[in-house]
Every structure is written in structure tokens, then in C-alpha cells.
Homo-oligomer: A and B are copies of this chain.
């Protein structure tokens, strides 16, 4: 059976390309990093647990991607540029089957890492119930980080991409929904399995957005976090929520607005900006070829409400909570 040290050597040591700011990577008691002058460090840590955040039979390539992606998404939400990651992996065994699984996991992890010039600098491997903890580290110029606090009354509220795709993929996976086409099902599943951290958008918003958060728990819950930290409220227009064609079809079939509002795992950016920034934001959207949609407005009243297409109003749901519910696949 391969030893812990063999595993580390084999899969982790040269997994990612070296960076100039890494003085010492994997293989000593600590990694050593040289932070460039004039940069602040942003760090985020997330754990994915088998049976909770992913099904045990998940494709390990996807899981490796996702474990890093959810952390890079947090960097994106701060406007930070990714730099390095640490990875702690708890595996049930180290036999040949798990070594193959690990190879695939690292393939997914490292492919995404190389897209963003992220170096894997350290971590741990232990035996136990399957789970993955990643910490991502990035840079942001002092004073330019996008915080949750900072939204101002009258700000417009924006989201990138589309909402509810991952949630609908989960419903499909759990047999509660069947998309109309195989292509739609594949599109949704890819959104659940391989979220795209909006790094370029986060960086572009540094001097534009007043407040930002990534949507991991669901639009309602994450907008609530942003509003609570900012001491404001929000009014959302359901008809303006950006949805993909499969989710549009689902909404026509079910009128279930909870899906785009409460489903998590979208990993899109939710941010607010001054009304006067509208054209600048559309330029960013154009440049990044990424839809950015205005979905409502920040209000002085601290409640969160949504106007439905029929003109009625409802409070916004507060989404997913790891301890209050037990759904799979939400970050």
C-alpha cells in the first residue's frame, strides 16, 4: 500500500507550475511565500464532504475542479487575483482504485489551477471519511477589495451569468425533474459539477462595485448577507432574473421562483454599484463576454423583497444552510 509520503510525492509535489512568489512549496514543514510589496493577501477556506456537498460516485475530475473553484469564487468575490492553494484530502484508502481516483481528482484540480496560475504549495493527506478542504490565497491592492459591506441605498444590484442551473441539475440528479432534452440536462449538470469562478469579473469590478459576494448559498441568502453587512435592504424583480433556457422552460412549467432565488451552487457574482456605473458595467460584460444583469435595487428599508411577474411581492427566501437542511451539492 502506498504511504502518505509516496502519495504526496507522487501527486502533489510537481502538480502545478512554479510561481516566482513561492520560495518553498510542498515538502517541508511549511511553505514559504514572498508577498509582493503593495499587495494585501486574501484567503478563503472551504470544505467539501462526501454525502453532503457531493455524491460519493461523483466524477473525481469534476470534484477536483469544484473543490478549487468554490474557493477561487470567494477570491473573485473579493476582487482578488489567485496565487496559491493548499489542499487537505481525507481518503478512505490508498489502494490502486483510490490512487486512480486521486489521479483524476488532481487532474481536475490542476487544470483549473493552471488556468489561473495557481500553485499548490502544501496540505495534508489523511485516512478517513472522504472530504476535501482547500484554502485559496490571492492578492488585492490595499483598499480595493470588494467587501460585503458597502452597498448604498439606490445602488443597482447585478448578477453575472445565470441563476438556478446548478439547483435544477441537482433536482434532475435526485429524480425530481427531467429536462426536456439531453443537451439541456448536460448543460445543467456541467454548471453543477464545474462552476466557473468569475475571477476576471471580480478584478474588473475593483473600483466599480460598492459591495460584492459570490452566490454559493443562493441568491436570497447571499443577498441577505450582503445587505446585513451593509445595513440596507433590497428590492428584486423576478422577471429580470437571468436564467438559462432550461431554467426558463422549468419556470414556465412550474412557476417555481424559489429555484433561481434559493438554489445554491451557482458561484456567480452578486454585486451592487452606483446607477452612474451602468455603462461601465455593460462594457465589462462585453469585454468578458459574460452576461451581467441588473436584477433590482438597494433600499433603505432593511427587508428583502421580490416583485413577481404578476405584480405581487414576496419576501426573499434565505436559501441553503449546511446545518438547517441536508441537500447535497451546495457550497
Identify which of A32, A42, A122, A133 gathers the most chain B CB atoms within 10 Å of its CB.
A133
Q: Does A121 contact B (CB under 8 A)?
A: yes
With A52-B126, A53-B126, A321-B5 given, is the CB distance from A148 to B33 under 8 Å? no
A45 to B124, CA, bound (A): 6
Does the CB pair A322–B4 fall under 8 Å? yes
Inter-chain contacts of A149 with B (CB < 8 A): 28
Does the CB pair B23–A40 fall under 8 Å? yes
Q: Does A44 contact B (CB under 8 A)?
A: yes
Inter-chain contacts of A50 with B (CB < 8 A): 128
Q: Spot the interface stretch: A71-79, A170-178, A305-313.
A: A71-79
Q: Does A253 contact B (CB under 8 A)?
A: no
Q: Mark A123-147, 1 if CB is under 8 A from B, else 0.
A: 1111111010101001010100101
Does the CB pair B128–A52 fall under 8 Å? yes
Task: Tell me the number of copies of this protein.
Answer: 2
Q: Does A27 contact B (CB under 8 A)?
A: yes
Q: Mark A58-76, 1 if CB is under 8 A from B, else 0.
A: 0000000000000000110
Q: Does A7 contact B (CB under 8 A)?
A: yes
Which residues in window 289-331 of A have CB below 8 A to B? 321-324, 326
A74 to B28, CA, bound (A): 9
**Nearest CB of B to A199, in Å:** 13
Interface pairs (27), CB distance under 8 Å: A1-B323, A1-B324, A3-B323, A3-B324, A4-B323, A5-B225, A28-B147, A28-B148, A29-B214, A30-B44, A31-B42, A32-B40, A32-B78, A32-B140, A33-B43, A35-B35, A35-B40, A43-B121, A44-B122, A45-B133, A46-B88, A46-B124, A51-B128, A86-B135, A94-B323, A124-B133, A129-B131
A residues at B contact (CB < 8 Å)? 1-5, 7, 23-24, 27-35, 37, 40-53, 74-75, 77-78, 80, 86, 88, 90, 93-94, 121-129, 131, 133, 135, 138, 140, 142, 145, 147-149, 212-214, 225, 229, 321-324, 326
